[in-house]
Structure 1
């Protein structure tokens, strides 16, 4: 039963990425090399980000459930390091626009799911009692996939700001919201003691809103690279 629990939770976590790889133009070309390339950039980016966080703001005791604004704000700001990593990954590939966005977005989201979800799913799946926390954790990776694809597209718009100058300001505004919305999630989760399910719903609404705004930019630009 525990193995089935782990497999089902893992399927909820990683199946959307697998479908994305198989049902998009990514399936028509060798994807493993590009995934490993993005994975290497992801590892370097995460190491740099956590090194900066550990240097300037050592981790406070999570068990105290204290919300320290300066620390949380700095941690959110460090997401800029990830944005730079995604930009490097986008510039590394020379394929068409849609292929680059799908490659970097799906690969980055998959690496993030492996790094932050796999072990919790394994230990949660070994439990003999059903827990909604494991399901929420798995569903959160799907929300992050949607947000990641939107983020990569917005970065692409900024990279090509000379060509899409009228959309760069909107892209920067959305990236600003993406960078600092975890600050609000952390606040309501710690201070207001909101359940993980409600936090997931809030994250879902935010991600779908950003995705809708991103799609609006895409439909207006009609990028063909």
Structure 2
């Protein structure tokens, strides 16, 4: 039974990445090492972010249950480094916008999956007692994949030199939502004291809405070019 639960968690977490890689056409372009390079860039950016946070944002020492709004907002702002990293990855890859976006997003999301969820899933999901949090973690990894594809698309649109004026405001709002989504979710959870499954559902709905908005802007921008 333990292996069965571990297999389910593994399939839920990793198969969507494999399917996305195959179905997006990246395998036809032999983009595996490009994705690996994007993952390496992710690791470098996260290291820089951790050093920056450790230097300029010490641990919150307020009372229990008190939410450090300003501090958490400033920490979320550091995620702007992810935008720079994604832009760097896409600028180093030649090809169509769709190809650049998927290479950057797949490398970024896969590196995040390996670094933040691989070990907990490997150790925890193989335990004697099954815990639903590992299923939640697997679903969350799929949400993260959609999030990074959306973020990469937003960065690609935002950095286009020929971006029409009518697109500048909605694309800027989209980029801001991608950066501060985690902060908004954390604030929402703190205010409404949501349960873990509800948090996952809200996160999925919010990510889906942002992804659809990004897709709408991307399609219209490509067709208007």
Q: 1-side partners of 2:68 and 2:17: how far apart?
A: 34
Seen in structure 2, the aligned counterparts of structure 1 residues 59 and 11 have a Cα distance that, compared at 3 Å, is farther
Moved over 4 A (4+): none
SS at match of 2:26: helix
Seen in structure 2, the aligned counterparts of structure 1 residues 15 and 223 have a Cα distance that, compared at 3 Å, is farther
- Runs of 5+ in structure 2 lacking a partner? none
Is 1:67–1:191's contact at 8 Å kept on the other side of the alignment?
Answer: no
> For residues 136-155 of structure 1, what are the structure 2 equivalents within 5 Å?
136-155=136-155
1:160-191 deviation digits (Å, cap 9, x = unpaired): 14344431221111111222222232123345
Matched, 1:72 2:72: yes
**How many pairs align?**
225
- TM-score, reference length from structure 1: 0.91
Q: 2-side partners of 1:85 and 1:41: how far apart?
A: 7
- Runs of 5+ in structure 1 lacking a partner? none
Seen in structure 2, the aligned counterparts of structure 1 residues 224 and 191 have a Cα distance that, compared at 3 Å, is closer
Is 1:150–1:211's contact at 8 Å kept on the other side of the alignment?
Answer: yes
Aligned match of 1:176: 176
Aligned match of 2:28: 28
Q: 2-side partners of 1:207 and 1:161: how far apart?
A: 27
Matched, 1:100 2:100: yes
SS at match of 1:112: helix
Q: 2-side partners of 1:80 and 1:121: how far apart?
A: 28
Q: 2-side partners of 1:42 and 1:208: how far apart?
A: 23
1:76-107 deviation digits (Å, cap 9, x = unpaired): 11110111100100101011111111111122
Supply the RMSD in Å over aligned alpha carbons: 2.2
Is 1:157–1:164's contact at 8 Å kept on the other side of the alignment?
Answer: no
Q: 2-side partners of 1:97 and 1:223: how far apart?
A: 13
